[in-house]
Structure 1
Amino acid sequence: MAVVFDRLFVFLSLFAVVYFLEAIGGSYMVSAVQSIERQFQIPSKLSGFISSASDISYIPTVVFISYFGGKGNRAKWIGAGCVLIALAHIMTATPNFIFPVKAPDLNLTQIEQQLNPSSNLLAENVTIQELFEFQPLKDRIPAKIREFVLQKFSGHSITERALEDVKLKYTNHTSNSPYTVDDELINEAMYHFDEMLKGNEDENDPKKVVTILKQFVENRTKDHKNDLKTIRRAAIAHFAFCGKLVNDLRNTVDQLKCNRDGGNFGPLLIIFCALLGLGIGRTMPWSLGIPLIDDNVKRKSMPVYFAGISFIRILGPITGFLIGSFCNKLYFTAPAPPPAGLTPSDPTWIGAWWLGFLMIGIANIVPSLALFFFPTGNKNSNKLTDSEVSTTKKRQSLKLFDRHIDENRNNNPSEDKTASDKFKTFAMSYKDVVKSKVYMGSVIGRVMDVLAFKGYMFFLPKFLENHFGLPQYKVQQYMAMFGVFGFACGTLCGGLITRKFKLNGRNAALFVFIISVANTAVFFSKSFLGCHSVVNGIGRDGV
């Protein structure tokens, strides 16, 4: 017995997959922009312009495609648009292969030599003066303190005024800083230095403080790789440390940037063209898919289907940010390993942004082609009434063509419009829509909403990384958990409120206005909120 498929169910399944992948691609672009900027040395003003390429192509084409595509086989149009989306995603990833960028190779030999203690420093009879010459200790213990401690051990006296001048340089020192090594040992040594300089400890018995400093030196032999990562993090932080190791590494990084080729026209052009194609492809799933579902689903079942679509709209961005988090944990040269000492927490880390675009594009090809070649079936099934169609035919029926067009053709069988007549009809239809005050008000409100929200969301990961020192992969996780989760809660609450209070069009518009004003007020209030970031915490903690 032949298996009978529900054509509507098959179509909806394919549509859900391609719509889900399209939603993933939108949020994934936000997670990839930082790595693209770093790999091809693109300034933010250019990356912001490039990101708008999909909107530049979307706006003028969506009107025409929704009108003319609705008059044809909508499944084929949707499939063609999704194929274009898949190719655009793959094309976006190609600059990584067409214009390969060599991974930054820092010469850290000199830094490593200064981090490795000599055998003399590990000897039992090592003196505190020899320990003070070890560069990591030299960077952490201020010169004045080293001078006063050596004077104390030599039997010289120090004035109270001189001690007051250096007191704040170490008593407010922070601990557990991501930019310094062995804070606990340094703070413990500083405490003993302070007690010794005040006369509370015997300066003739330096054994205790020497033991602490020797432990610091021994740890450098064990934690060599972690020390290198810490110093690298401090060298490329958005603030300055006064230390020879950090400054030497900072000079090495600056020299590497100067030697890199700054040409980025080729990658920019390819990504811009790919996003133009992406914008055209994005017009079809939403503008043609929703009317097609409306034509084939019973009115009482529509809320269930729209709830499913809303769920996909929420789940898609969450998945996109999670994929971005995964790809940002990998270095852009993957599967090759990153340079020594470089981790995803490093501000110069370049994630494997291209991998996500390839994954989304390749995954989108098969369901998109399935939609493009989706069988039309019996086009005359649109004309049949429910009483004239058997149960099996009902299960197999799917109206891929707009039922209103079929009705017009039945009423005017001799009508055969030319291309010019079709454009005139389109212009008249669009003119009627534009005359609607409700429609124009909704459009203006939506434009203002996107104007405020688009740039904010696009550059939010960069702001969070620079202001709070968060690695990109964690930023994507937070945006998936909190940003999109908030959108999901808002969608759910809005639907429940609308249903509970049975808001009509005018009341619903008033409800949107009130919520929008409250939303704007909350966002504006963030300008007056202070917070402790990594940057302003440096001065507060006295690092």
Structure 2
Amino acid sequence: MGPRIGPAGEEPPTPDKATMPSEDTAGEDASPAPRDLRPSVFYNIKFFVLCHSLLQLTQLMVSGYLKSSISTVEKRFGLSSQTSGLLASFNEVGNTTLIVFVSYFGSRVHRPRLIGCGAVLVALAGLLMTLPHFLSEPYRYDHSNPEDTPQDVQASLCLPTTPAPALALSNSSCSSYTENRHLTMVGIMLTAQTLLGVGGVPIQPFGISYIDDFAHHSNSPFYLGILFAVTLMGPGLSFGLGSLMLRLYVDINRMPEGGIKLTSKDPRWVGAWWLGFLISAGAVALAAIPYFFFPREMPKEKRELHFRRKLLTIAASPASKGEDSPLEQSLGESQKKQDGLAQIATDLTVIQFIKVFPRVLLRTLRHPIFLLVVLSQVCMSCMAAGMATFLPKFLERQFSITASYANLLIGSLTIPSAILGIVVGGVLIKRLHMGPLRCGILCLLGALLGLLLTTPLFFTGCSAHRIEGIAQRPAMQPEPGLFPSCMEACSCPADGFNPVCDPSTHVEYITPCHAGCTSQVVQEATDKSQPQVLYTNCSCVEGGGPVLGGSCDSACSYLVLPFMLLVSAGTAAFSITHTPSFMLILRGVKKEDKALAVGIQFMLLRVLAWMPSPVIHGSAIDTTCVHWALSCGRQAVCRYYDHDLLRTRFIGLQFFFKTGTMVCFALVVAILRQQDKEARAAATVSGPGSSPGLQQKLLVSEPERKREDSRV
């Protein structure tokens, strides 16, 4: 017979003649076990690591995909940046409300099965995010038309014979049904984001604890390193997927007859944002299948069994019966500590756990190192959440690039830079054998370098070109046009949007009607590019035109690559602080509080950073808007921003959080220096007058302490 898997969590029986060759004997050729009696692949911890890496990768693709298409969702459903920021932050609401209880449940539940259920919920939430696309009517990029007429560029021309402004027709279509439909779509997306956070609660904590419990103690860090490395690719893939999907038209599944006359460079273009959610949700659903076949507990890896059996042999030998060996004593003490921690979590009921948690929280927050490091991580997370949510939109507006290109830049430059910074931080700790003080200094230097690298971002950009009839600053009156009375007879719709650009003066008009244009010419392109649309006979344009369809190009589009290189370099510098800051947290609390300290840390990061930061950044972006689209009398999406003000406030918020991070790390270094001086003074005082035994103890413990500090 082949090796038999015993009950979960139990030690295997004493190996007999049948099981010894196949499991324990090294270097001997064992006869292969029958195929039907071999252990299942689901009892292999390596296979679990592979499955969990793929699951966390796809989960982060779902949760990060909204950030890659945030500006597209705003245009499609008429949302302000504040509302879209609230939508992005709702991912953390469900996660925050349940993450604390993960510390309570621990290993009481069937962890793989619960991970699978959470993954299924994530997949359903991703599908729910696509529901507004299928429930809403086809996208109309020319809102100056009544809803019962086909989209036609003629509606944007100056037509003096128009009996009434199209605005009246547009307002007549506004009803309680229209507003309720808008609120329903927003409510569906908020619900989907909440479920997405709830489904992600058990995935990472239970997966990490499952790997650590059943992997060999020397293999566990290696497996977790693989897990984190693969997981970090998820945000990059989400931006890459967004770059591909936003090149497709939003209604690709229900294209109008004759197609559309928009290009991806047109400001009215809306990409297929929903298609990425379908793809990533399907990937999560496939990755969730194996978790329903993993056991609740699996045997330890083989080398762990060898190690335990050697210890049992040593313990059973006659020389060791009188007194326990130091190795056995240390193993017994560590096992008692682990059992004690597990016993605390096991004996508490849910009510007792809720009562005890505030006291543990207050006791943990009294540690100055823990508190300051968590505050620094809160500042970094605020910076990261705002950057991840609104950097694609910022690049679109500041440098007049497409949403697809913005996502491509972020996915190929910024995300890999963050991964590189995290790896470099971990390597530096391992190679230089850094203790707490050196970790604090490394964090301070990384934050200072990141701050210096991103300071030039304030000046990397240019002012917005002139938009005729729109103020260049918020809350200012628009400047008078070149010909104030040129479009009085045109009956231009106030809520129309079909921008055109005068190439000679670099002045933009909201619609051809606002430029006084009465005719249109389509020039067929010689290559495979889209045809060029020209508008002629424009009474509001000096010389009568012609003007080109689409917005004017930015005068500083060439600065987008230097801007992204600076952002990526600053991101890499700040990412270096990731691993050493975690080490400071683990060293700054008592051993019995480490598990809950990590849970408290993640809870504070979500409550103080990942939830409010997108809303704060979105509100700051909204204050720089100079022209809002109107939907039934309410402000919808912003169409034009003051570029200088947008850059100053967006980068200024980032600079504020980066400065807070650096200040917190500086205080950490100051406290650690003071503690190091006190420790040296105490050692000096006790040295001359102390006994030789105490001196020997100090000499012996110093290398041990350094070795302990160097462990990551």
What TM-score results when the alignment is normalised by the length of structure 1?
A: 0.63
Deviation at 1:483, TM superposition (A): 1.3
Deviation at 1:247, TM superposition (A): 13
Query: Which whole-Å deviations, capped at 9, do the CAs of 1:129-166 have from their partners, x for residues lacking one?
Result: xxxxxxxxxxxxxxxxxxxxxxxxxxxxxxxxxxxxxx
Report the secondary structure of 1:36's partner residue. Answer: helix
Moved more, 320-329 or 366-375: 366-375
| Residue in structure 2 matched with residue 273 of structure 1 by the alignment | 191
Q: Give RMSD over aligned pairs.
A: 3.8
CA–CA separation in structure 2 for the residues paired with 1:67 and 1:294: 17
Find 1:77's aligned residue among 106, 109, 114: 114
CA–CA separation in structure 1 for the residues paired with 2:113 and 2:239: 30
CA–CA separation in structure 2 for the residues paired with 1:305 and 1:407: 24
CA–CA separation in structure 2 for the residues paired with 1:72 and 1:418: 14
Change (3 A) 1:349 1:254: farther
Query: Which whole-Å deviations, capped at 9, do the CAs of 1:430-484 have from their partners, x for residues lacking one?
Result: 4544343333222211111122221232111112112221111111111111111
| Residue in structure 2 matched with residue 478 of structure 1 by the alignment | 409
Matched-pair contact (CA < 8 Å) for 2:91–2:197: yes
| Residue in structure 2 matched with residue 61 of structure 1 by the alignment | 98
Deviation at 1:495, TM superposition (A): 2.6
| Residue in structure 2 matched with residue 465 of structure 1 by the alignment | 396
Find 1:295's aligned residue among 213, 230, 241: 213
Matched-pair contact (CA < 8 Å) for 2:214–2:300: no
- Say which structure is richer in strand: 2
| Residue in structure 2 matched with residue 455 of structure 1 by the alignment | 386
Deviation at 1:254, TM superposition (A): 8.3
Is 1:26 matched with 2:63?
yes
Is 1:17 matched with 2:46?
no
What amino acid is aligned across from residue 341 of structure 1 in structure 2?
Answer: K
Matched-pair contact (CA < 8 Å) for 1:91–1:274: yes
| Residue in structure 2 matched with residue 123 of structure 1 by the alignment | none
Deviation at 1:48, TM superposition (A): 0.9
Matched-pair contact (CA < 8 Å) for 1:78–1:371: yes
Report the secondary structure of 1:94's partner residue. Answer: helix
Percent pairwise identity: 22
Query: Which whole-Å deviations, capped at 9, do the CAs of 1:277-310 have from their partners, x for residues lacking one?
Result: 1112222222222233222333433443233223
Matched-pair contact (CA < 8 Å) for 2:119–2:284: yes
Query: Which whole-Å deviations, capped at 9, do the CAs of 1:11-52 have from their partners, x for residues lacking one?
Result: 112111110101212331111222211221111111111111
Matched-pair contact (CA < 8 Å) for 1:66–1:284: no
Change (3 A) 1:376 1:64: closer
CA–CA separation in structure 2 for the residues paired with 1:301 and 1:23: 25
Q: Which runs of 5+ in 1 are unaligned?
A: 112-234, 236-243, 391-402
Change (3 A) 1:273 1:404: farther
Matched-pair contact (CA < 8 Å) for 1:86–1:361: yes
| Residue in structure 1 matched with residue 276 of structure 2 by the alignment | 356
Deviation at 1:75, TM superposition (A): 2.0
Deviation at 1:494, TM superposition (A): 2.0
| Residue in structure 2 matched with residue 407 of structure 1 by the alignment | 339
What amino acid is aligned across from residue 507 of structure 1 in structure 2?
Answer: R
Report the secondary structure of 1:334's partner residue. Answer: coil
| Residue in structure 1 matched with residue 458 of structure 2 by the alignment | 527
Matches within 5 A, 1:273-352: 273-337=191-255, 339-352=259-272
Matches within 5 A, 1:113-262: 261=178
Report the secondary structure of 1:350's partner residue. Answer: coil
Q: Alignment length, in residue pairs?
A: 394
| Residue in structure 2 matched with residue 420 of structure 1 by the alignment | 351
CA–CA separation in structure 1 for the residues paired with 2:268 and 2:113: 44
Matched-pair contact (CA < 8 Å) for 2:63–2:196: no
Matched-pair contact (CA < 8 Å) for 1:80–1:369: no
What amino acid is aligned across from residue 286 of structure 2 in structure 1?
Answer: V
Change (3 A) 1:422 1:494: closer
Matches within 5 A, 1:485-524: 485-524=416-455
What amino acid is aligned across from residue 192 of structure 2 in structure 1?
Answer: A
| Residue in structure 2 matched with residue 148 of structure 1 by the alignment | none
Matched-pair contact (CA < 8 Å) for 1:468–1:534: no
Matched-pair contact (CA < 8 Å) for 1:92–1:354: yes
Matched-pair contact (CA < 8 Å) for 1:92–1:271: yes
Change (3 A) 1:464 1:14: same
Q: Which runs of 5+ in 2 are unaligned?
A: 1-33, 143-149, 311-334, 468-500, 507-712
Change (3 A) 1:533 1:9: farther
Report the secondary structure of 2:219's partner residue. Answer: helix
Query: Which whole-Å deviations, capped at 9, do the CAs of 1:282-340 have from their partners, x for residues lacking one?
Result: 22222222233222333433443233223223321121111111110111111333642
CA–CA separation in structure 1 for the residues paired with 2:46 and 2:267: 47
Deviation at 1:504, TM superposition (A): 2.0
CA–CA separation in structure 1 for the residues paired with 2:389 and 2:80: 14
Report the secondary structure of 1:100's partner residue. Answer: coil
Query: Which whole-Å deviations, capped at 9, do the CAs of 1:37-95 have from their partners, x for residues lacking one?
Result: 12211111111111111122322321222332444332233222222211111111111
Matched-pair contact (CA < 8 Å) for 2:57–2:234: yes
What amino acid is aligned across from residue 481 of structure 1 in structure 2?
Answer: S
Query: Which whole-Å deviations, capped at 9, do the CAs of 1:210-236 have from their partners, x for residues lacking one?
Result: xxxxxxxxxxxxxxxxxxxxxxxxx9x
- Say which structure is richer in helix: 1
What amino acid is aligned across from residue 363 of structure 1 in structure 2?
Answer: A
CA–CA separation in structure 2 for the residues paired with 1:379 and 1:311: 26
Deviation at 1:268, TM superposition (A): 0.8
Change (3 A) 1:69 1:369: farther
Matched-pair contact (CA < 8 Å) for 2:130–2:278: yes
Report the secondary structure of 2:199's partner residue. Answer: helix
Matched-pair contact (CA < 8 Å) for 2:116–2:291: yes
Matched-pair contact (CA < 8 Å) for 1:107–1:252: no
| Residue in structure 1 matched with residue 555 of structure 2 by the alignment | none
Report the secondary structure of 1:329's partner residue. Answer: coil
Change (3 A) 1:69 1:245: farther
Report the secondary structure of 1:300's partner residue. Answer: coil
CA–CA separation in structure 2 for the residues paired with 1:103 and 1:385: 66
Matched-pair contact (CA < 8 Å) for 1:54–1:277: yes
Find 1:89's aligned residue among 121, 126, 141: 126
Which one has more relative contact order, counting CA pairs under 8 Å at least 6 apart?
1
CA–CA separation in structure 2 for the residues paired with 1:247 and 1:491: 63
Matched-pair contact (CA < 8 Å) for 2:111–2:296: no
CA–CA separation in structure 2 for the residues paired with 1:518 and 1:296: 40
Is 1:40 matched with 2:77?
yes
| Residue in structure 2 matched with residue 141 of structure 1 by the alignment | none
Deviation at 1:488, TM superposition (A): 2.4
What TM-score results when the alignment is normalised by the length of structure 2?
A: 0.49
Deviation at 1:344, TM superposition (A): 1.7
